[in-house]
Amino acid sequence: MLNEKVALITGSTSGIGLATAHVLAAQGINLVLHGLMSLSEGRQLADKFSQQYGIDVLFDNADLRDVDSIERFIQLATEKMGSIDILINNAGIQHTESAENFPLDKWNAIIAINLSAAFHAIQYSLPSMKRKSWGRIINVASVHGLVGSVNKSAYCAAKHGLIGLTKVLALECAEQGITVNAICPGWVDTPLINDQISTIAEQQNVPFEQAKYQLVTAKQPLPEMMAPEQIGEFILFLCSDSARSITGSALPMDGAWTAQ
């Protein structure tokens, strides 16, 4: 059923996005890969996917802080691939600091990349989904879209906002065959959290792996990090026909973090 659909995954040069790209490609889903790397590196990555899975793959390195670049990126991708059927708003950044001392440029970048870019990408992709009366929009939020943590004002504001956006779009698309959901992961083993692990390792003078364990268990009862592929498999399920009635949901995959 998903064979030959087109999925656009923002931030798919690393971590959760890259792992999700592999999971979807293995089902024959064509891909628009995206992230911050040079066009030549990106094209190499796209060629690798194309050869490994026998699918059509496009790469773009639009900076998600720039609305015009997002518009150009999505329009070009829709033209070249014929449609965008699955949109995965995954790109994100993190910065930790007390709200009182939070740098303005970091606040602006987190809101732009983690929240506003998802809104713009949805706006530019919806016409293509509506033409086919079928679509899947999956916003990679976080447990921090459901609860707060100290030193994460911008990240929590953006992720809570992303869940609000998800609910509104689900209502607006309910009769169009388009589902809209947010996934709320706990700790996932990707480069995004390396700074937080390094800070613990330095402050407590412990090895990186021990610091990682401490970071996970401070909030998450299940004492292990998730593999990014697990998020990819969850996203694949949300794309399936079995999941067609799941829409407007903020779905935790968080080792019981938000059960407390």
Report the catalytic residues. Answer: 155
Whether the Cβ atoms of residue 181 and residue 166 lie closer than 8 Å to each other: yes
How many CA atoms are closer than 13 Å to the CA of 200, on its beta-carbon side?
Answer: 16
Residue that the structure tokens 């970071």 belong to: 215
CB 245, min distance to ligand NAD, A? 25
Cβ distance to ligand NAD smaller for residue 54 or 191? 191
Q: State the minimum distance, in angstroms, from the CB of residue 65 to ligand NAD.
A: 5
CB of 96 to ligand NAD, least distance (A): 12
What is d(CA 128, CA 78) in angstroms, rounded to the nearest whole number?
7
- In the DSSP assignment, the letter for residue 163 is H
Q: By the 8 A CB rule, do 36 and 61 touch?
A: yes
C-alpha to C-alpha distance for 197 and 65, rounded to whole angstroms? 26
Structure tokens at 132: 């086919």
Going from the C-alpha of 240 to that of each of 135, 178, 179, 250, the distances in angstroms are 11, 12, 11, 17
- Comparison of 133 and 210: residue with beta carbon closer to ligand NAD: 210
Catalog residues that contact ligand NAD under the rule CB under 6 A: 11, 13-17, 35-36, 63-65, 90-93, 113-114, 140, 142, 185, 187-188, 190-193
Amino acid at 214: Q
Q: Smallest gap, in angstroms, from Cβ of residue 7 to ligand NAD? A: 15
Tokens of 135: 């679509």
Please, which residue, 86 or 93, has the CB nearer to ligand NAD? 93
20 vs 179 by CB, closer to ligand NAD: 20
